[in-house]
Structure 1
Amino acid sequence: MVQPLFASNPYSSPFLLAAYRLTNKFKAVDVLHRWLWIFEKSRESNVRIVAYSTDCDARYLLSMRLATGFFAKYNNIAICDRVDALEINLPQEWKAWFFMPIRQIFFCFQDPVHLCTKLRNRMLSDTSFLLIGKEEVSIEVLMELIENKSKIAHDLVKTDINLNDRQNFTSCLNLSDDDVLVTLEDIEGSQATRIYLRLLRNIALAYVEHNTSTIDHIYHSWFGVFCDVHGKLGYM
């Protein structure tokens, strides 16, 4: 299937290429072997896979590291030495902090929608206790917002904080909207929750929003990193 890109609509719609079912009894190397098999079979049909995107499962993350050589190496397969590997043309001054090999057969990244819903679900979970500094990230302040503030001010509904729909990405956007953050300022004990929602918003801007500029992509992605460090985000 070929989908041309036009200047008036540069984003092609996704389509299902393949579907398969497997048990949960697999290892990271099994994932890597499957990716390589799909890559090679696609090449036989003149299709070049550029990247794989997955969720946050630890086995998939390790597969990403093995595939890209990011502080990990799979001894039996010299992936980066293949003749069909892509070569990244890095400026010389970048090489001191760019830790992946410059030759890559394909790239890997986490599914950003899944990453956002993971953050939302952790915040709404009854079993997690999130601290930023000495203040708790709390669903109670969101409930107080919905019950005591006009919907015109924040546009939230109770389904936005309902954990039953764990893949509700629209809820992620609603919760992290600027109007919500501004309205929360009037609710006592909401600072940690606002910081957490700001983190969620920055991840969406960095990895999901099509209209984010390149420099803003970098800013919002690094904001998430430094929010964890300087905000002292803790999990219990």
Structure 2
Amino acid sequence: MGQPLHDKSPAFCLVIFGSENSFNNIDVLNRWRYVQKELNKSEITIFGFSSDADRRCLKAMRIQSGLLSSISLENKDSPYGPYFQCKYGIHSPVYIQDAVHIGTKMKTTLLKPNVVLLMERFFVSKDFIEKLIEIHLQNLIVTVTKDKHLLCNSDLDNADKMNFRAIDKISSNEVIKLLHGIPESDATIQYLQITRNIIDAFLNKSSSIADRIYKIWYSTFFLRIWRSWLTCKN
């Protein structure tokens, strides 16, 4: 699909091709290069490529971005670690994971049974003891009128893994604010705040550039520190 930069222009089908799902990251890179070459013939500029979380697409994005975890830049290691340095040119496309897929994956992790996410002494887990996450959100639905949070029980159903509308509602600023009134929901609040930041950074058209940068880096640093803490704890 192609997405014009004009605010109200709809996305349109750019390429249709068949696949038996046996492609690899090199095939993805060749596809992107071919699309870019053909569009250049019509003087159409591609500002970026995005994809879902398919590992082959992610690897292709890492290679094209020049991340040190995938490719060594002049065989020099960054003093800031492998995640802070990438190849970027003002006239080259950028490569990002599709924001809708990021949101739905955050929802899947939040609502997935038997997943326990620990933050200090708090837990982000639907299956912890009495399904802590579910209780937090269901308590909110029961104790606060719907016009305040706009949630319904079906939003907690993880059967539809691509239900972006559900995570958009669950991570709304209104829900996050109301959750502050529910004891022991600190980790849930933080998880939803990160999710909200990611969604707004990419999809909220009213956000300023500075606000987008702040939100995505806040989430990035928090997730890195959280992962480091979990690694050390284990």
TM-score, reference length from structure 1: 0.78
Aligned to 1:45: 42
Q: What is the 5 A alignment of 1:65-214?
A: 65-71=62-68, 72-73=70-71, 99-102=86-89, 105-137=92-124, 138-214=133-209
Unaligned ranges ≥5, structure 2: 73-83, 125-132
Residues 1:52 and 1:135: Cα distance change in structure 2 (over 3 Å): same
Tell me the amino acid that sits aligned with residue 202 of structure 2. Answer: Y
TM-score, reference length from structure 2: 0.78
Quote the Cα distance in structure 2 between the aligned partners of 1:231 and 1:154: 28
Tell me the amino acid that sits aligned with residue 204 of structure 1. Answer: I
Contact 1:117 1:169 in 2 (8 A): yes
1:12 aligns with 2:26: no
| Count of residue pairs the alignment pairs up | 209
Of structures 1 and 2, the one scoring higher in RCO (CA 8 A, sep 6+) is 1
Residue identity over aligned pairs, in percent, reads 28
Residues 1:192 and 1:20: Cα distance change in structure 2 (over 3 Å): same
Contact 2:103 2:167 in 1 (8 A): yes
Contact 1:130 1:234 in 2 (8 A): no
Contact 1:119 1:200 in 2 (8 A): yes
Contact 1:133 1:231 in 2 (8 A): no
Contact 2:65 2:86 in 1 (8 A): no
Aligned to 1:92: none
Quote the Cα distance in structure 1 between the aligned partners of 2:71 and 2:230: 30
Quote the Cα distance in structure 2 between the aligned partners of 1:159 and 1:215: 35
